[in-house]
Each structure stands twice: as C-alpha cells, then as structure tokens.
Amino acid sequence: MKNDKPYGGADFRVKGNRLLWLKVAPPHTPFKAVSEWKDPMIPESMEPWMNNSSERLNRYTVRFFTGTFEHDLTKRFEQFGQNATWWVSPDWTVIYIATTWTDYKQDNGPDGYGVTYHKLWKSGDGGMTWRRLPWPQVNNISQLAFLDANRGYAIGWGPHIWRTADGGQHWNEIEVPVVAYRVDSNQTRAAQVKARSDAPIVKDARFAFTSSYLAPNGVLFFAFYSPEPHGRQKDLSLVYALRWEDPVDIYFRAQQPRGPEMAVPQATVVDMLWVPAGDKGIRSNALYLLTEQGVPHNYDIPHDSDRKRPAGIWRWTGSEPMHLKTFDDDIAPGALNLGRDNLLMIDASSSKNEHDIALISRDGGESWDKQDEGPGAAGGYFGNGGVTKWRYFGNSLHSREIR
C-alpha cells in the first residue's frame, strides 16, 4: 500500500494469497518545499483548502482495493465518504459497499447533527466494476448482512431495518419494536408521540442498535439497551430475533407481537456469535453475547464517564442468558470470533498499556486465556472457523495462528 497515501486503518479480507481491502482515507495534504515557506519555522500547505478543517473532512474518501501478496493492491473504487460498511459473498464475487458522507461546510440539520448523504454500491465481479443501487440518501446504513448474494438486510440509524430479496433493487422496512426508539433517557419514542403528537421527533435520531448479527441459520439477532421496565427488571439489554420469513409487522402487530428472545441485565450487548450444535431451530444452539458490563454512562452525572465498563461474556441456549465471566476492569470489548473446533476468541483492548488483547476459550466460554498482541492495530481480520489471525500495523500485515 505504499502508493496509496496517506497511511490509514482498513477493514480487509484474506483468502489464500488474495486480499480485499476497504479503507477510509483522509486527503493527502503535503507541505511546500522548505525554500517556499514565508517563515522558515512555519510549514506551509501546498494548497489553501488544506488549512481549512471542514474542507479536509469533506475530502475524506472510501477506497476499495484488490490484489495479492505478490503484487501491490489495485484501487477499484473510490467515493467521497468519512465512513463505510460492506458485505462480501463467500466466493468474493458479489460485494456491497455503503458509504456515508457528511458535508462539514453545511450547518447542522434539525436533529443537531451534520447533514449526511448515504449511498449504496454493488459489484458482481469481485470488485472490478461497480454500480450505484437505488437508495434514499437520507437513510443511513451502518451494517449490511446478507444470507446470499440477493437476500439480505440493511441496518441503520433510528434504528431501522430494511430487507431485500432482489440484490438491493428494492427494500421493505421491518417495523422494529417500539422500545427500540429512544428520544431521551426517560421516554420511549411512543411515549413522546402520545404526549406531543405535533412535535417533530428529532432528538437521538441517530440512536442505533448496540449490536446486530446475522447467524448462519438465517436468523437476524439485534440488541439495544432499554431503560424501560421489562417484566420485573429495568436497565437491561433486549435481544430480538428476526427470521427471513417473518412479515414486516412481526413486532408491531395488534395481536401477539413478537417480544424479545432474552433480556440481559445491567449490560450492553456489543457483539454476538452463533455456535451451532444441531438443526432444531434457534433454541437448540448457543448464542454468545459480548457485553460492556454495567449500565451505560450518564453524561449528566459528573465523572460518570470515568466509570469502568469491562468486557463480559454470556451464553444463551433458549432460556435465560447465563453470565460466564466479567474480565478485568481494563479490558474493553471489541469483537467475538469463532475459530476451529469451536474455539472462541474475543478481540479486546487494554487501557493499561493501550495494547490489543486476545481472549481465548477452548471450553465453551467457561475459562479464558489472555494474550497480549502489542500496540493497537489499524485493522484486523479473522475468518470464522479458521486459525489464522491478521493484524495491520505500521504499514505492515502480520499473521499468527490461534489454536
């Protein structure tokens, strides 16, 4: 990647000696030669726009590359954007990329945030060529999750879930549970609508699921933290399940709307992982939940943001979720992965030394080994079911085996 400047983090995939590389990059802002500086102690940018923070932010781009270890990667896609998410089919033939671009030169919109534009792109030839799909630019996509090249979900702020069966040409919105809409820390969206039906609901318009995960059996799980009472509990995370054949009003029916599969007390679900144990539906297997323990930080309380929220791990097999372990206070959770022979691996970080940490379990989450992986990487990849873990750090790609 020496020819693609400036250096930056990336999300990537590795298969054999082949690579797919997705990168969000700031603009290249070189300085003039020293001989051209007006003041020999003050560097000068090559162009005037480079001195304007809004101009620099507006010129971030989303870039996609393909290549092999033997050759430098080739750029196949570039669009303006400060954020992106993607999905790659198992054979690497079909790829979707959703881009988000915020115009930092515009004033904030009515929701208090900057004005953003969201676009959806698709390749059917492994990323060599791309076309833009029809998609409302006001609708954010934070995650793409597909069962195959044509059937899948887009998940975005609100929160919202959309479903397509024709490769992204048309989408139907799934009405999410009422308690998933949050307008402030004390009221659900429905409560505010009832109180003031004439008031536009814009507060917390970018509220999102804390985690969403499409299991290999085709069930989409999504979780969010709710202060609303559920049963005899409050301050918990609710986890719902959506099957492909479910109608769009499954959570919003007048009679028998589907409720959550489970409630996780005093924790926020940040990632989920399905470990199959049979073929008897979602309740015959294990769903692991990676969490931040404790209630979310309340920024209205002085110094509450300093309160530690360490990583935790839970297991659900169809009844109540079982809390397996809370890790040391310095461990912040990242992602949950499945290795060969049902090995579990948690990507995490440590606030003690700002290093990446791998937490490994070989007995279904009952016991864990902690492995220090060194200073924080700019990207990583671990193919579920495999043994090789990759880290991108300091312009170099590193690998090691997890067994």
Q: Which residues of 146-167 are buried (b: 16+ CB within 10 A; e: fewer)?
A: beebeebbbbbbbbbbbbbeeb
Nearest to 15 by CA among 92, 108, 80: 92
CA distance 26 to 40: 26
Q: How far apart are CA 43 and CA 37, in angstroms?
A: 6
The rounded distance, in Å, linking the Cα atoms of 143 and 98 is 8
Structural contact between residues 86 and 56, judged by C-beta atoms closer than 8 angstroms = no
Which of helix, strand or coil describes residue 12? strand
Determine the Cα–Cα distance for residues 141 and 379; give it in Å rounded to an integer: 21
Rounded distance between C-alpha atoms, residue 288 and residue 24, angstroms: 30
Best CA proximity match to 262, nearest among 214, 230, 218, 296: 230
pLDDT value, residue 194: 45
Q: Residue 282: its pLDDT value, please?
A: 53
Measure the CA–CA gap between 62 and 22, rounded to whole angstroms.
7
Task: Return d(Cα 117, Cα 126) in angstroms, integer.
Answer: 25
**Rounded to whole angstroms, how far apart are CA atoms 98 and 379?**
19
* Rounded Cα gap, residues 236 and 312, in angstroms: 14
Name residue 75's beta-bridge partners.
Answer: 65
**The two three-digit tokens of residue 375, written as one number:** 């200073």
Instruction: Give mean pLDDT in consecutive 10-residue pieces for the chain, a chain of 403 residues.
Output: 79 94 93 90 91 94 94 93 97 98 89 88 97 96 97 95 97 91 49 41 71 95 88 88 96 88 94 80 79 88 89 93 95 95 94 94 94 92 92 89 89
Domain ranges across the chain: 1-174
Q: What is the pLDDT of residue 293?
A: 95
Backbone angles phi, psi at 220, to 5 degrees: -95, 120
48 residue type, one letter: P
Among 128, 82, 113, smallest CA distance to 207 is for 113
3-state secondary structure of 133: strand
Q: pLDDT at position 396, please?
A: 87
Q: In this structure, which amino acid lies at residue 256?
A: Q
pLDDT value of residue 77: 97
Non-local (6+) Cβ contacts of 393 within 8 A are: 374, 375, 377, 378
pLDDT of residue 203: 52
Distance CA 341, CA 56 (A): 47
Closest by CA position to 380, among listed 392, 398, 396: 392
Q: What is the DSSP letter of 49?
A: G
Quick check: 338 and 275 in contact, CB under 8 A? yes
Q: Is the pTM of this model over 0.85?
A: yes
In whole angstroms, give the CA distance from residue 315 to residue 398.
Answer: 31
| Angstrom distance (rounded) from CA 165 to CA 60 | 32
Say how many CA atoms lie within 13 Å of 375 toward its Cβ: 4
pLDDT value, residue 288: 97
- Given 3-state DSSP classes, what are the helix, strand and coil percentages for the chain, each rounded to the nearest 5? 10, 45, 50
Burial of 71 (0-12, 13-18, 19+ CB in 10 A): exposed
- The 3-state DSSP class for residue 230 equals strand
- In this prediction, residue 200 carries a pLDDT of 40
